[in-house]
Amino acid sequence: MKKPNDVILQTVTTVISFIIILFSINLFFAGHYTPGGGFIGGLMTAAALVLLLLAYDVKTLNTILPFDYRMMTAAGLLIAVLTGAGALLFNQPFLTHAYDYFNLPLLGETSLHTAVLFDIGVYLVVIGVTMTIIQTIGESE
């Protein structure tokens, strides 16, 4: 098989995937009060990883990011479920969240919310599931 000429794609990808991932993290935190959040952030991170996958191949991606995406899904689910179940300890209904305002160094007054933990779980699940699906189709070829 002729080796495809994808120099441009590979060069651009190396630069752009970082920008996408950074933006996805920005989106993730923006979700606190404005549009964004774990789902869309995770999807965008997954998109960056898929771009890497397209430009290189499964093996290269595994060398760059040696994650087991199934474990990532499980870990994300565990975080999300435990955050929800944490309310049980205080005899509150499931999924009840707590938040308060704190004065943090550098950041000033910041609102900290347990929903962020839940969202981290969602973020990991979305990346994990998307990458598992892509890899399942990709590997068998």
Partner 1 sequence: MEILMSIVVGVLFTSAVYLILSKSLLRVIIGTALLSHGAHLLLLTMSGLKTGDAPVLLDGVTSYTDPLPQALVLTAIVISFGVTAFFLVLAYRAYQELGTDNMEEMKGNESND
Partner 2 sequence: MINLPLLPILIPLLAAVILMFFPKRIKAQRFISLLAIGATIVASVVLAAEVKANGIQTVNLGSWPAPYGIPLVSDMLSVLLVLTSSILTFFVVWYAMIYMDEKYESFFFYIGVMFLLVGINGAFTTGDIFNLFVFFEVFLISSYLLIVLGGKKAQLRESIKYVLINVISSALFVTAVAYLYSVVGSLNMADISQRISELGNTGIVTVIAIFFLMVFGLKGAIVPLYFWLPGSYSAPPIPVLALFGALLTKVGVYSILRTYTLFFTQDTGYTHEILGVLALLSIVVGVIGAVAYREVKTIIIYNIVVAVGVILYGVAAMTPASLEGAVFYLLHDMVIKAALFLLVGIMIAIAGSSHLKDMGGMIRDYPRIGWTYFVAALALAGIPPLSGFIGKLLIVQGGFEAGDIVGPLLVLISSLLVLYSAMKIFMNGFWGTPKEYHGAKAKSANRLWVPAAALVLIAIFYGVGTEAIRPFITMAVEPLIDPAIYIEAVLKE
The residues with which 102 forms a beta bridge, in sequence order, are 110
Examine residue 71 and tell whether it contacts partner 2 (CB under 8 A).
yes
Examine residue 78 and tell whether it contacts partner 2 (CB under 8 A).
yes
Give the N- to C-terminal CA distance of the chain in Å, as an integer.
14
Examine residue 39 and tell whether it contacts partner 1 (CB under 8 A).
yes
Query: Which residues, numbered 84-113, are part of the site for partner 2 (CB under 8 A)?
Result: 85, 87-88, 91-97
Query: Which residues, numbered 46-105, are part of the site for partner 1 (CB under 8 A)?
Result: none
CA distance 96 to 84: 7
Name which of 20 and 84 has its Cβ closer to partner 2: 84
Identify the three-state secondary structure at position 100.
strand
Binds 39, which of partner 2, partner 1, none (CB < 5 to 8 A, cut-off by type)? partner 1
The residues with which 99 forms a beta bridge, in sequence order, are 113
At 108, phi and psi to the nearest 5?
Answer: 80, -150
Interacting residue ranges for partner 1, rule: CB under 8 A? 39, 129, 133, 136-137, 140
